[in-house]
């Protein structure tokens, strides 16, 4: 074992200079690690930790944020609301980031203001929910770490309760972003109870309204969930062609599509007839590339809301915000490579239910399901793949 361990780690060190700031190498490195995991299974968990530790060290000494902007409650699922002293528990400042020479924009030279309408920008939308804040911050961190031109990324943050702007600003001082308030009342009357409580948060439905919330000059957006990390350059996802489609996402045509809707739905032809002439496949709404121009033109928000109204009166599905997307878009989605949503890593959070990766390359790891890596790491019962989330975590006191 010692031999295997040392030969593997020396291979990593040979191929990847961890101290180097060259982003291409940083981008490749988790993919190679994942390869190791695939082929050696659980045994490799220990290896992952060892292999990861140099990259952990490459993060500069963290600086605690001692601000008072956040005097609300930080709640985590399964815990009673607890007041966190922000002097002790807060987010460390991320390392500074800059564009590589080959970036097309002039931002690295000019210090002038960027406007959200600049056509060179890559637009990413993420919700900032107090319960998933740690995940959102890790997601942002991962995107910046693996991007060749991180200064060309504009983040659109959707929030509902607390003003998190100062917290984001102190964690990522150079970040280009805007915070939007999403009024829970917009969807309050449209949400029906779903099987999983966590899926009923109004902010889960904010993605339905991106076309209205974001500035009209923003023509395309990548929507990302808060329980994922990106381990590749997000600009590759950004430039994916959607053809004539409005939404792009990895499709899963082998999944049993029937189970996403109730028997009542399938037996009522007025409802299930919506899929006539389509070849609907399941897709996950946690990673989507959205053409906002087409979305606005065809008012997909209204179409989604109509299905939510129907759901309120006659239960046609069990899950939360996902099924309306399937109803409106399944079969009309631009298929994106599966590497951009290695989903299901959350599993069902029952001991021993850790998930493995799907075959193939990985650009994005998604802990969908009820198990979240930060909770499992904190409880000292992590799944092997949770070690791939940990390097992006900025939560906690300054060491
Ligand atoms: C798909 O799911 C439905 C509903 O749960 C079930 O009745 C059906 O047998 C499943 N089909 C296959 C091919 O597994």
CA of 308 to the centre of ligand 1 (A): 24
d(CA 97, CA 373) in angstroms, rounded, equals 25
Strand extents, DSSP E, 316-379: 334-335, 364-366
63-77, 102-116, 293-307, 360-374: segment of lowest average pLDDT: 63-77
> What band does 182 get if pLDDT is binned at 50, 70 and 90?
very high
Q: What is the pLDDT of residue 195?
A: 55
Atom 2 of ligand 1, nearest CA residue: 259
What whole-number distance in Å separates Cα of residue 158 and Cα of residue 213?
9
Residue 168 has pLDDT above 90, yes or no: yes
Ligand 1, atom 4, lies closest to the CA of: 259
Instruction: Convert the pLDDT of each residue in 80-107 to its tens digit.
Output: 333 333 434 589 999 999 999 989 765 5
Residue 75's pLDDT band (boundaries 50, 70, 90)? Answer: very low
Residue 258 CA to ligand 1 center (angstroms) comes to: 6
- Dist. CA 343–CA 365, nearest whole Å: 6
Q: Vertex 38, ends 348 and 25: CA angle to 5°?
A: 110
Q: Which comes out higher in pLDDT, residue 211 or 15?
A: 211
Asked if 286 contacts 343 with a C-beta cutoff of 8 angstroms, the reply is yes
Instruction: Identify the pLDDT of residue 77.
Output: 36
Burial zone of 123 (CB within 10 Å; 0-12 exposed, 13-18 middle, 19+ buried) = buried
User: Among 170, 176, 171, 180, which residue's Cα sits nearest to residue 153?
Assistant: 176
253, 257, 259, best to mutate for ligand 1 pocket (most atoms within 8 Å of CB): 259
Q: Which of 254, 256, 261 to mutate to test ligand 1, by most ligand atoms within 8 A of the CB atom?
A: 256
Distance in Å, CA 255 to ligand 1 centroid: 10
Name the CATH superfamily for 2-392.
Spore Coat Polysaccharide Biosynthesis Protein SpsA; Chain A (3.90.550.10)
pTM (predicted TM-score): 0.79
- For the CA of 256, the closest atom of ligand 1 is 1
pLDDT of 131 over the 80 cut: yes
Q: What is the mean predicted confidence (pLDDT) over 261-271?
A: 97
Mutate to test the pocket of ligand 1, among 258, 318, 319 (most ligand atoms within 8 A of CB): 258
Pocket of ligand 1 (CB under 6 A): 256, 258-259
Residue nearest to atom 12 of ligand 1 (CA): 256
Could you tell me the residue ranges of all domains in the chain?
Answer: 2-392
pLDDT for position 198: 60
Residue 164 has a CB neighbour count (10 Å cut-off) of 21
Average pLDDT of every residue of the chain? 79
pLDDT of amino acid 65? 26
Q: How far is the CA of 51 from the centre of ligand 1 (A)?
A: 42
């Amino acid at each position: 074992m010692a031999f295997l361990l040392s030969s593997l780690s020396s291979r990593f060190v040979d191929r990847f200079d961890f101290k180097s700031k060259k982003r291409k190498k940083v981008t490749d490195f988790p993919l190679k690690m994942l390869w190791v995991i695939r082929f050696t299974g659980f045994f490799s968990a220990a290896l992952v930790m060892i292999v990861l530790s140099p990259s952990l060290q490459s993060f500069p000494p963290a600086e605690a944020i001692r601000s008072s902007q956040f005097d609300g409650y930080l709640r985590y699922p399964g815990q009673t609301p607890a007041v966190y002293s922000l002097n002790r528990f807060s987010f460390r400042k991320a390392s500074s980031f800059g564009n590589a020479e080959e970036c097309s924009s002039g931002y690295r030279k000019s210090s002038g203001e960027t406007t959200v309408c600049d056509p060179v920008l890559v637009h990413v939308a993420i919700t900032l929910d107090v319960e998933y804040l740690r995940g959102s911050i890790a997601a942002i961190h991962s995107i910046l770490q693996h991007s060749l031109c991180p200064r060309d990324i504009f983040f659109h943050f959707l929030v509902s309760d607390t003003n998190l702007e100062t917290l984001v600003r102190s964690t990522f001082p150079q970040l280009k972003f805007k915070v939007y308030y999403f009024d829970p009342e917009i969807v309050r009357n449209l949400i029906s109870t779903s099987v999983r409580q966590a899926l009923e948060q109004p902010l889960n439905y904010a993605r339905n309204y991106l076309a209205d919330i974001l500035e009209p000059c923003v023509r395309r957006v990548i929507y990302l969930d808060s329980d994922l990390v990106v381990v590749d350059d997000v600009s590759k996802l950004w430039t994916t062609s959607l053809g004539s489609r409005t939404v792009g996402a990895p499709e899963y045509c082998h999944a049993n599509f029937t189970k996403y809707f109730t028997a009542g739905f399938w037996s009522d032809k007025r409802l299930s007839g919506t899929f006539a002439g389509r070849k609907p496949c399941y897709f996950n709404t946690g990673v989507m590339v959205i053409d906002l121009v087409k979305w606005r033109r065809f008012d997909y928000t209204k179409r989604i809301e109509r299905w939510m109204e129907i759901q309120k009166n006659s239960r046609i599905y069990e899950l939360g915000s996902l099924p309306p997307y399937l109803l409106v878009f399944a079969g009309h989605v631009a298929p994106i490579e599966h590497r951009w949503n290695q989903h299901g890593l959350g599993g069902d959070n029952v001991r021993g239910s850790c998930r493995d990766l799907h075959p193939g390359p990985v650009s994005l790891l998604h802990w969908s399901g009820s198990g979240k890596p930060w909770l499992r790491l904190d409880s000292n019962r992590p799944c092997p793949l949770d070690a791939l989330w940990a390097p992006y975590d900025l939560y906690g006191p300054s060491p």
